[in-house]
Every structure is written in structure tokens, then in C-alpha cells.
Amino acid sequence: MKEICDGEKERILKILALLEKHYPNATTALRYENPFQLMVATILSAQCTDKRVNQVTERLFKKYKGPEDFATAEPRGLEEEIKECGLFRNKSKNIIEASRIILEKYGGRVPDEFEELIKLPGVGRKTANVILANAFGKPAFAVDTHVFRVARRLGISDGKDPLKVEEDLTSKVPKEYWIKAHHWLINHGRRICTARKPNCENCFLKDFCRFYESRS
Ligand code: SF4
């Protein structure tokens, strides 16, 4: 953990304890059966809701069973299948290319190292961390739009970009919380600390929140 004062450490631990209490079963909303399916679903989730992605992958994974099917997919055909997720041309291209690399370089298995994952087309920092944490159980803190916003409002980070927020979270939040805290912050961002209208008055974190403090 980064060197932070005891008061700040205590504040963050209280926030984590409350998040755990309120979201005991928080986990990824994306449906997948293996690391490869999670990779495809996460690529599809860019600028798309998890609900929509699940609708699309329910169909898609029946037709395309694994990297072999995706690597040999006809780009137009795949575009049609994933159209509802948006950005479908790029996503289709990336999924096909990533599948080829996974087959040729990794024997059909999604790599479980961050440095290897981010070399795959369509897999950025966030997606790599999602895969590491959820498919392989490796400590990683994926920063999506909700995590970014809630971490900043709570005052755990003042980072202006996701990388800085990730650095602050991973240095201030104990490692054993990383995987779960990612899901807790997403849940909180969706249910209470929403982008447009955070429901501060009814938020169980308000006594520990810098944003709330600054408004009071
Ligand atoms: S008090 Fe408001 S800003 Fe702070 S976490 Fe809760 S909803 Fe978000």
C-alpha cells in the first residue's frame, strides 16, 4: 500500500467495509464460461451495456464455439452478429485478429499475463485487468467509467485519466480487495453514485466522501 496517513487508511477501509456490506454478491454482469468468452464479451462491452452484450453473446457463443471459429469467421458475418453492440466493424476485426493470435501464439488459450494480454487487438488496460481478475483470479483493478467516477468523487484518487486512478486505487486499496472493490464501485456507480445525479442524501458512504463533504 502507498504511504498514506492512518486517517486516510482508516477512511478507505471504512468505505470498503460499507461497500462489502451493501454489495456482498457483486460480480461481473457479463456472462461467460471461459477466459476466451470473457475476452470477447469485454471487447463487445465497449460503449455498450452489459445487458445488451449478454443478449448478443447468448446467440454468438452458440454459433462460434471458440478461437478457431472466430479466427476463421467471415468479417461481414461477424459484424452482423455483433451489430447491436455498436462499433461493430472495429470490434469484429479485433475479435478475429485476437483469436488468430491466441491460436497461433498461445495454442488457443488466452494468456494470463498483463503484458501479453494488452498486445491483443481490442484489449486495452481495462479489458486486460478484467480478464486477469475475473477469468484468472489474479489481483488487478480494472478502471471503467463507474470506477473512475466513484473513486474520484470519494476522493480516493484525483487522477485525470484511468491510468492514474488505477495507480491510486492499487496503491491505496489493499490487494486482497482489488477484484471485489472493482465490482463494488461499479454497483455503487450504477445504483447510487450515478454520473448525472448522484443520490448523495441516501448514500451510505456520504460520511466518508470528499465530494459530499465539499458540497456540505
Ligand atoms: S456521497 Fe454522493 S458523491 Fe459520494 S459516493 Fe455517495 S453518491 Fe457518490
Q: Which of 193, 207, 208 to mutate to test the pocket of ligand 1 (most atoms within 8 A of CB)?
A: 193
Catalytic residues: 126, 144
On the question of a common fold for 6-26+141-215 and 35-136, the answer reads no
pLDDT at 194: 98
CATH of 6-26+141-215, one of 3.40.640.10, 3.40.50.1010, 1.10.490.10, 1.10.1670.10: 1.10.1670.10
14 C-alpha vs ligand 1 centroid, how far in Å? Answer: 14
With a 6 Å cutoff on the Cβ, whether 185 touches ligand 1 is no
Report how far apart, in Å, the C-alpha atoms of 50 and of each of 3, 13, 17 are.
Answer: 36, 29, 26
Q: Give pLDDT, residue 3.
A: 66
Quote the mean pLDDT of the chain.
96
Distance CA 34, CA 110 (A): 9
CB of 193 shorter than 6 A to ligand 1: yes
CATH architecture of the domain covering 35-136 = Orthogonal Bundle (1.10)
Residue 15 Cβ inside 6 Å of ligand 1? The answer reads: no
DSSP assigned state of 48: S
pLDDT digits (tens, 9 = 90+) for 42-91: 999 999 999 999 999 999 999 999 999 999 999 999 999 999 999 999 99
Rounded to an integer, the average pLDDT of 169-177 is: 97
pLDDT digits (tens, 9 = 90+) for 77-131: 999 999 999 999 999 999 999 999 999 999 999 999 999 999 999 999 999 999 9
pLDDT at 4 over 90: no
Asked if pLDDT for residue 1 goes beyond 80, the answer is: no
d(CA 1, CA 17): 17
